[in-house]
Structure 1
């Protein structure tokens, strides 16, 4: 009986230590998109399929709609938004890129957007490792340009970002959430 009590006590202590060591599960999981799509997976498991190098990667948090009105309510119009939740997303270009006719040197940038009713501003910023848009510094903008939002017929429950590559030199960046999508071309 004494051994059973000691075992239970050890189990309770281990559980308490475990719960103090690890943070609870995040409601908005982090995700990553590559161009070319699935680059990391294919490089490992199908290296002959890849045949090209990685050109871009974005890391972001996939927040959910959860029956909320997103644009204009949860995400305010005409206010800088960090896209998603938690840390501001970071987009990495492994080669020099051209976006909206402007050259962007290879490197990592924070990606912000300012949604509007008829037009959105896309912002690449050099300030990294930022939480939300609370410390957004306009003086560190590398590139800003406008895009036109597109109304979707179906609801996208979780914020989603992807690259749709046409070839090894050009792709389109897509962001969709709720019933709205925005996109812009990138060339390398």
Structure 2
């Protein structure tokens, strides 16, 4: 009897370890609109950033920009959750002063210009709960056309801290400075 009592805890331990190992190997497939980040300064070797943007990257897949980000409607500036922008220092966003912190980044696309919005609501899905009363900065920037075609929605910073949004051949530039 004593030997079977010693085997029972060993059996349960092996069963538990096997079941944990099996479920730990179930990895989720790549998201259709994968999450990405862009920061300024862009160099990965610079640890003190001025700004960082976390967003999801929808793909055009034969569709038009305006069908996915309709003109004159508030857009989450990406896919899935609303895009978040973190300023690690107080900045000037276009011509508006913004204090350091994390905010959501919404846009209102237009044919010739886009309105870019910094809003205090964070951790929100899409633009469904967008509340204009929580805007702290709104700027309007012109739309230009790029030479290269971008299948995924993309955000990047240049060496001057200007944030560039691009999709298809559409381009907008948002000045950010200390």
| Same fold by TM-score greater than 0.5 | yes
- 1:174 equivalenced with 2:169 (yes/no): no
Q: Which residue of 2 aligns with 1:32?
A: 37
The partner residue of 1:102 within 96, 101, 105 is 96
Question: Structure 1 runs of 4+ off > 4 angstroms?
Answer: 13-16
In our comparison, the structure showing a higher alpha carbon Rg is 2
**Is 1:112 equivalent to 2:102 in the alignment?**
no
Residue in 1 aligned with 2:51? Answer: 56
The match for 2:74 is 80
| TM-score for both structures, normalised by structure 2 | 0.83
Rounded Cα–Cα distance in structure 1 between residues aligned with 2:121 and 2:77? 15
Q: CA deviation at 1:55?
A: 0.8
Q: How far apart in 2 are the matches of 1:162 and 1:69?
A: 21
Find the counterpart in structure 1 of residue 62 from structure 2. Answer: 67
Measured in 1, the distance between the counterparts of 2:115 and 2:57 equals 20
Structure 2 unaligned regions, length at least 5: 1-18
| Gap regions ≥5 residues in structure 1 | 1-12, 43-49
Give the drift of 1:184: 1.6
- Is the partner of 2:61 in helix, strand or coil? coil
Maintained 8 Å contact 2:71/2:110: yes
